[in-house]
């Protein structure tokens, strides 16, 4: 049973995002309200957009619902939730391409999501990142990525990962792609991947990586068997401090105004994703940079 309206709303939002645990799914089904919402969404799926008579649809939905459930009394809270869900779905149409044929998955600050593509391939999406692809996957095997993700591609399946700086073509492999601001980097953990950037093309095998430096693809090697961020930390080798702090702000809500005198500092090391104070000490103590963290999570440098 639901404890309160807020709990129901939270579970409903997670259900719409396909992010419910088995326990949460069971609780929502036992509440009896999930059936009502499914009726609404099934009806919405039959509509032809963008010409929508909202008032007529709401009237039809209510009438059909009452006909199907004559012996059941539907509470005002349920109807309000259904109406809110209806408006939310309409908002998806006007605010994204969700109802026009594309599927988009986005992550929030400090959030990571596992997502399965239509061909069974798995994508692990890092914080503050997004992927999108056409619902007609067999005819449009292209995925757009902003941010960072790790791909575990089903054997024999081919598709292309497109970013603003370059793209990756794959065939049954495990690899990571990072497309963050002006940074484009690809690492191959299994199989082979082809990296394209402008008129440049490179093929990577296990343990090889490549990044785009001033418009040129530069190869390098690595030892780890999976991306560090999947293990709960970020690691760097002679990285600009500004890049390290950009990464830090993907996992923590923090205000940082780095003084100009520290901009050219280089950092080698790691920081965890689950402890802000430890993360800050891991970064700034080796560089001998003093700071104070306020109660509002704002960094003040000495």
Whether 282 and 202 share a structural domain: no
Q: Which residue range is the domain that position 142 belongs to?
A: 102-221
Q: How many domains does the chain have?
A: 3
Query: Is there a domain that residue 227 lies in?
Result: no
Whether 71 and 124 share a structural domain: no
Q: How confident is the model at residue 61 (pLDDT cuts 50, 70, 90)?
A: low
pLDDT per residue as tens digits for the range 11-37:
666 666 666 677 777 776 777 666 666
Query: Is there a domain that residue 226 lies in?
Result: no
pLDDT per residue as tens digits for the range 87-120:
455 444 444 444 456 899 999 999 999 999 998 9
Interacting residues of 66 by C-beta distance below 8 A, sequence separation 6+: none
CATH number at residue 239: 3.55.50.30
pLDDT per residue as tens digits for the range 120-154:
999 999 999 999 999 889 888 999 999 999 999 98
Q: What pairs with residue 199 in β-bridges?
A: none
Q: Return mean pLDDT, the chain.
A: 82
DSSP state of 39: H
Weakest-pLDDT range from 43-47, 157-161, 223-227: 43-47
**Alpha carbon distance 114, 270 (integer Å):** 24
Domain closes at, from 71, 95, 119: 95
Whether 237 and 161 share a structural domain: no
Q: What is the largest CA-CA distance in the chain?
A: 73
**Alpha carbon distance 229, 193 (integer Å):** 21
Domain closes at, from 95, 130, 162: 95
Query: Is there a domain that residue 37 lies in?
Result: yes
Query: Which residue is associated with the tokens 């794959």?
Result: 170
pLDDT per residue as tens digits for the range 243-286:
999 999 999 999 999 999 998 899 999 999 999 999 999 999 99
**Alpha carbon distance 302, 300 (integer Å):** 7
Percent helix, strand, coil in the chain, to 5, is 30, 35, 35
Domain closes at, from 199, 221, 243: 221
- State the virtual CA torsion across 203, 206, 212, 213 in degrees, nearest 10: -120
Residue of 24, 26, 23, 30 whose CA lies nearest to 1: 30
Of residues 51 and 150, which shows the higher confidence score?
A: 150
Whether 25 and 118 share a structural domain: no
**Alpha carbon distance 28, 123 (integer Å):** 26
pLDDT per residue as tens digits for the range 162-185:
999 999 998 879 999 999 888 899
Whether 47 and 106 share a structural domain: no
Whether 57 and 109 share a structural domain: no
Query: Which residue is associated with the tokens 């129901």?
Result: 8
Whether 84 and 147 share a structural domain: no
User: Quick check: 49 pLDDT over 80?
Assistant: no
Whether 182 and 207 share a structural domain: yes
Burial 130-141 (b: 16+ CB within 10 A, else e): ebbbbeebeeeb
User: Quick check: 232 pLDDT over 70?
Assistant: yes
Whether 269 and 168 share a structural domain: no
The structure tokens listed for 169 are 């073509």
């Amino acid at each position: 049973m639901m404890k309160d309206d807020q709990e129901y709303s939270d579970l409903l939002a997670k259900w719409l995002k396909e992010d419910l645990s088995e326990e949460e799914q069971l609780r929502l089904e036992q509440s009896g309200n999930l059936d009502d919402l499914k009726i609404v969404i099934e009806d919405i799926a039959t509509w032809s957009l963008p010409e929508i008579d909202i008032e007529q649809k709401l009237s039809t939905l209510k009438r059909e619902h009452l006909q199907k459930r004559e012996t059941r009394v539907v509470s005002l809270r349920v109807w309000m939730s259904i109406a809110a869900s209806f408006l939310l779905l309409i908002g998806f149409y006007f605010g994204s391409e969700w109802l026009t044929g594309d599927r988009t998955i986005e992550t929030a600050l400090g959030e990571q999501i596992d997502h399965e593509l239509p061909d069974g391939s798995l994508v692990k999406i890092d914080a503050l990142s997004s992927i999108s692809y056409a619902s007609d996957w067999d005819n449009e095997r292209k995925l757009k990525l902003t941010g960072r993700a790790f791909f575990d591609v089903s054997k024999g399946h081919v598709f292309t990962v497109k970013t603003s700086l370059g793209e990756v073509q794959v065939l049954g492999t495990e690899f990571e792609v990072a497309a963050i601001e002006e940074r484009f980097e690809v690492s191959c953990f299994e199989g082979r991947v082809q990296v394209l950037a402008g008129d440049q093309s490179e093929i990577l095998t296990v343990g090889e990586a490549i990044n785009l430096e001033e418009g040129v693809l530069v190869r390098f090697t690595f030892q780890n068997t999976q991306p560090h961020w999947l293990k709960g930390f970020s690691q760097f080798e002679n990285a600009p401090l500004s890049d390290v702090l950009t990464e830090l702000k993907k996992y923590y809500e923090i205000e940082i105004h780095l003084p100009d005198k520290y901009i050219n500092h280089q950092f080698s090391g790691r920081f965890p994703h689950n402890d802000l104070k430890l993360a800050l000490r891991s970064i700034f103590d080796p560089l001998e940079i003093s700071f104070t963290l306020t109660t509002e999570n704002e960094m003040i440098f000495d």
